[in-house]
């Protein structure tokens, strides 16, 4: 078979006769189960009745160490693997520690993907990436085909390059070994276990914390950078978890798959909504001397939608739940 024919065949790999849901006692390894994404996937699998989940903390299994990862897979022999472990951070962290971001993430991905294939027991692996894999000036909404079509956003290119390598590694193992490795690329996520750090959190958890602290201190106003005009897309992490198990059960193909809500909201609308959810009654002030960032960033969710999946959690509903989690786990300590 010629290389091109082999790639086409890999792109049309049929679903296995035994689907993901057919045996809830099968061993499922969730790498990164304590993070925002991994904890949501864990909750979803437990709610579906999966009873044999393999979970390891960083102290129990260092995914950057090849020998440890290979020993783990050889001993435990999971049937499925979901790879959401990663070193993550905001613009400041990416700019300050570029070597760490590219090295640690490539190590984790390479070790887990290779060991999962090599052990022989893993029927399917799903690798989770990020929307930052796409070019800075990608068409909007961003289709899967935009990958590698232009320069990356410089502020997070080290993380993006690592994630692109993960996608390509899954594709390479599918092409060369006919192994069922797939990739999913989520949009901006939020929900329980998010990062609410005052210096390196993303926009939505940062707004929740800022309004909560202003409410608690009796402040009369909250200042937000920019004009509020940029459009962004947000997906509740529990919706992502639902999409992950959907893809584990329904999808076997060469292309990575975007996972988004398909709904845009301006930063101004988002801030006003967070203000209402938190109950801050002061004034919202926009500092237009600060940069807005990219005017629009929306994922093209049509591939996943055509398979029959749609998000279920509305933004306000998700924000209410997220703020409740914040109060119970972060806000009470302030």
Q: What positions carry a catalytic annotation?
A: 159
CA pair distance 196, 173, nearest whole angstrom: 37
Separation in Å, CA 74 to CA 26, 50, 106, 118:
16, 22, 21, 9
Separation in Å, CA 59 to CA 62, 63, 256, 276:
6, 10, 31, 40
CA pair distance 234, 241, nearest whole angstrom: 14
> What are the residue ranges of helices labelled H in 18-121?
36-47, 66-76, 91-96, 98-119
The answer to whether 176 and 297 have CB atoms below 8 angstroms apart is: no
Looking up tokens 């690798």, which residue turns up?
127
Strand extents, DSSP E, 161-272: 181-186, 188-190, 221-225, 231-236, 257-259, 264-266
Dihedral (CA of 258, 264, 268, 271) sign = negative
Instruction: Return the biggest CA–CA distance within the chain.
Output: 70
CA pair distance 254, 324, nearest whole angstrom: 39
- Name every residue whose Cβ is closer than 8 Å to that of residue 133 and which is 6 or more positions away in sequence: 147, 152, 160, 163, 164, 167, 185
Helix or strand (DSSP H, E) at 28: strand 28-31
The answer to whether 78 and 28 have CB atoms below 8 angstroms apart is: yes
Beta bridge partners of 258: 185
User: How many residues are present in the chain?
Assistant: 334
């Amino acid at each position: 078979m010629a290389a091109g024919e082999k790639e086409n065949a890999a792109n049309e790999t049929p679903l296995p006769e035994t689907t993901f849901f057919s045996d809830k006692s099968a061993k499922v390894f969730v790498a990164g189960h304590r993070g925002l994404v991994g904890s949501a996937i864990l909750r979803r699998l437990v709610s579906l009745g999966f009873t044999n989940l393999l979970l390891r903390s960083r102290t129990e299994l260092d995914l950057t160490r090849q020998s440890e990862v290979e020993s783990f897979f050889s001993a435990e022999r999971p049937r499925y693997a979901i790879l959401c472990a990663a070193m993550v951070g905001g613009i400041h962290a990416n700019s300050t520690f570029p070597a760490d971001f590219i090295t640690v993430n490539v190590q984790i991905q390479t070790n887990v993907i290779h060991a999962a294939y090599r052990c022989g027991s893993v029927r399917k692996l799903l690798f989770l990436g990020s929307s930052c894999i796409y070019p800075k000036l990608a068409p909007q909404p961003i289709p899967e085909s935009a990958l590698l079509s232009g320069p990356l956003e410089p502020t997070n290119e080290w993380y993006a390059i690592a994630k692109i390598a993960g996608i390509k590694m899954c594709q390479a193992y599918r092409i060369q070994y006919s192994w069922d490795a797939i990739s999913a690329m989520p949009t901006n996520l939020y929900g329980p276990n998010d990062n609410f750090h005052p210096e390196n959190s993303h926009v939505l958890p940062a707004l929740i914390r800022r309004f909560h602290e202003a409410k608690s201190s009796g402040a009369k106003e909250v200042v937000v950078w920019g004009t509020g005009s940029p459009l962004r897309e947000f997906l509740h992490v529990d919706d992502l978890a639902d999409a992950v198990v959907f893809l584990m059960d329904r999808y076997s193909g060469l292309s990575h798959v975007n996972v988004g809500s398909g709904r845009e909201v301006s930063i101004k609308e988002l801030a006003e909504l967070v203000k209402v959810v938190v109950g801050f009654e002061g004034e919202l002030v926009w500092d237009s001397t600060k940069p807005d960032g990219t005017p629009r960033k929306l994922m093209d969710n049509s591939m996943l939608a055509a398979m029959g999946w749609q998000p279920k959690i509305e933004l306000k509903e998700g924000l209410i739940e997220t703020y409740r989690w914040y109060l119970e786990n972060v806000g009470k300590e302030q």
